[in-house]
Structure 1
């Protein structure tokens, strides 16, 4: 295996100069850095992770804490896309990922923070977790750098999808298509505040359009769970006076709505218009193709990974970064005559 001493011999410089060039130190010229890096690539040099850790005092290991309420794990389509984007971004920076849990390795009473200390992680990215839990609060309050996804906490860095704006835009789209009788089956309220932001966007769009809200058409379903949404859709569509359009908690829940509509011998969008949220690949395979608000999962994950690296390597300032969504127009919304 080629070492920095071999590179130093070929380049006719000291091993410390090679090390500085490969680690982008500022006390050698850019021309020397480029020459040494080019030689390292040509010789197939690959850094020894243990040696690198000894030099930098880092483990190059990032913890990921992800536990969703539906217990779907890595089958959770929305967060699976975010996690994959995080992984790719961290790997580009030379970092590996460790999934954080409690009760690891036979230590059944160990906390999330204790697992992080045990693994020696340089930082932790938290997504789809109960941010109100004592263990999570303990981890966030520790000296380990953290990046939060879809949760804002003062003094910590967060990557937030623009849920308020996304839902407001969804309602405005339905109104533009002629719908004034709009129902909303939202997800359960949790510690992230996502549901509250979407509800606020819904009510604001209706208020600005001067359209009264029928509170009977506002129901609590669930994110990534069929049964609650299915029952809500069935209940709403069997009312004497039902809405012309329904907003779903997410695209996965929209599948339940499609089944409920079919079992009631109704059709989409002829009898009821439906609109999803997330913009998952599955939404574009539904028939009719689902109109949905697409969250930019690749950007959310990439920004989380980049921010984590900056916090670790440059002691970057904490900030809240907002990620916009975009409308994916399908065939599930009927245009009403005005």
Structure 2
């Protein structure tokens, strides 16, 4: 099969090879009419630009590393990550960027992989899909002055680190207040890992709502687990082992909620008749499970899109209008909460 070259495109369109090259680079000085003619010829002849060679010239890989909080096989069990990746991928596709997804199984493997990405110049920038306390990855990226964007609020240097987030403190307070308004007083909190900033913020909002309602904060009512269905099942065992059992639960992730509901059913308890439940994220199955979840919609797709926009702006030396990008949330009211009489 004969390889189609820029000269072939130039011959068919009547433009010079340099004009064709500028169209491929999407040069703003080339008219849309010219671009359309050249691109039509490229499609007709089956021409594909050699992006590798071009990227070597401009010293860019057009690739962004995306790092998850745990190994890919575990993280991708949670639809949050597939949805945020969908948002990132959709914007990258528009801008002809690619994703290099982390695959390290342990913290050490993940750190070494990021070192290879950065020092080996495999990527132009990094998106961290998490924020945690005392993160060696963040320290490394800052030390190397390497472009990165965080999905979540940084644990430190909030004015320096570019991040895309929700107001998780307010979201935690809003959803807990909703339970209180429905007559609940014994409210438990099930969160993810205690060193994740998203868990810390949602728990803070939960505690603020309790304090404002003069409801005591009981240490035994707060449980931390993994963002997995199995984590929810384990949390229920702890809750049902308490002498004074809660009448409602704030769960910091929809996938954990599925485990909570299924485990409660095994113990003969129903949501919301026996215990009300609210959650976060509004992932795709939240509306179709029984009962449908009352949950905080954090607009996961938009978190992905905005993080992709920010990192590409940083990697192409565009000026960012702000370093803190807040995606608004709202509560999707459904069937998992009852009025407590």
TM-score (norm. length: structure 2)? 0.84
- After superposition, the C-alpha distances for 1:305-333 in whole angstroms (9 at most, x for unaligned) are 12222212243336121112232222111
Aligned twin of 2:300: 297
Q: Tell me, yes or no, if structure 1 residue 199 matches structure 2 residue 203.
A: yes
Alpha-carbon distance in structure 1 between the residues aligned to 2:264 and 2:76: 29
**Partner residue in 2 for 1:285:** 288
Distance of aligned partners of 1:226 and 1:57 in 2 relative to their CA distance in 1, 3 Å threshold: closer
Shift of 1:135: 4.3
> Are 1:148 and 2:150 matched, yes or no?
yes
Return 5+ residue gaps in structure 1 as ranges.
none
- Higher mean C-alpha displacement, 87-96 vs 173-182: 173-182
Contact 1:101-1:115 within 8 A present in 2 as well: no
Q: Which residue of 1 aligns with 2:20?
A: 18
C-alpha deviation, 1:158, in angstroms: 1.0
- Does residue 171 (structure 1) correspond to residue 173 (structure 2)? The answer is no
Shift of 1:121: 1.1
| TM-score, normalisation: structure 1 | 0.84
Instruction: Look up the match of 1:96.
Output: 98
Find the aligned partners of 1:175 and 1:145 in 2 and give their Cα distance. 43
The match for 1:60 is: 62
1:63–1:235 CA distance, 2 compared to 1 (3 A):
closer
Matched residue, 1:312 = 315
Verify the 8 A CA contact 1:291 1:329 in the aligned structure 2: yes
2:7 aligns to what?
5
8 Å contact kept, 2:72–2:102: no
**Mapped pair 1:82 → 2:74:** no
Work out the CA distance in 2 between the residues paired with 1:73 and 1:184: 22
Contact 1:167–1:202 at 8 Å: present in 2 too?
yes
Aligned partners of 1:131, 1:250: CA distance in 2, in Å?
19
SS at match of 1:148: strand
Cα gap change, 1:309 to 1:131, in 2 (>3 Å):
farther
d(CA) in 1 for partners of 2:219, 2:75: 33
Aligned to 2:330: 326
Q: 2:292–2:334: 8 Å Cα contact kept in structure 1?
A: yes
The alpha-carbon distance between structure 1 residues 271 and 29, as it changes in their structure 2 partners (threshold 3 A), is closer
1:256 corresponding residue in structure 2: 259
Contact 1:166 1:293 in 2 (8 A): yes
2:191 counterpart residue number: 186
State whether structure 2 residue 234 is matched by structure 1 residue 242.
Answer: no
Give the paired residue count.
332
Q: SS of the residue aligned with 1:183?
A: strand
* Inter-CA distance 28–251: structure 2 relative to 1 (3 Å threshold): closer
Quote the RMSD (CA, aligned, Å): 3.1
Contact 1:167/1:198 (8 A) holds in 2 = yes
Aligned equivalents of 2:68, 2:160: Cα separation in 1: 21
Identify if the C-alpha distance between structure 1 residues 272 and 71 changes in structure 2 by more than 3 Å, giving closer, same or farther.
Answer: same
Q: 2:167 aligns with which of 153, 162, 166?
A: 162
Counterpart of 2:120 in 1: which secondary structure? Answer: helix
How far is the alpha carbon of 1:28 from its aligned partner?
A: 4.3
- Secondary structure of 1:98's counterpart equals strand
Distance apart, 1:226 and its partner CA: 5.1
- Note if 1:271 corresponds to 2:274: yes
- Structure 2 Cα separation of the partners of residues 59 and 212 of structure 1: 54
Cα drift, residue 202 of structure 1: 1.4
Describe the superposition over 1:98-125 as per-residue Cα deviations: whole angstroms up to 9, x where unpaired: 224669xxx9995622333325211111
Gaps of 5+ in 2: none
Assess, with a 3 A threshold, how the Cα gap between structure 1 residues 151 and 160 changes in structure 2: closer, same or farther. same
CA contact (8 A) 1:278 1:295 kept: yes
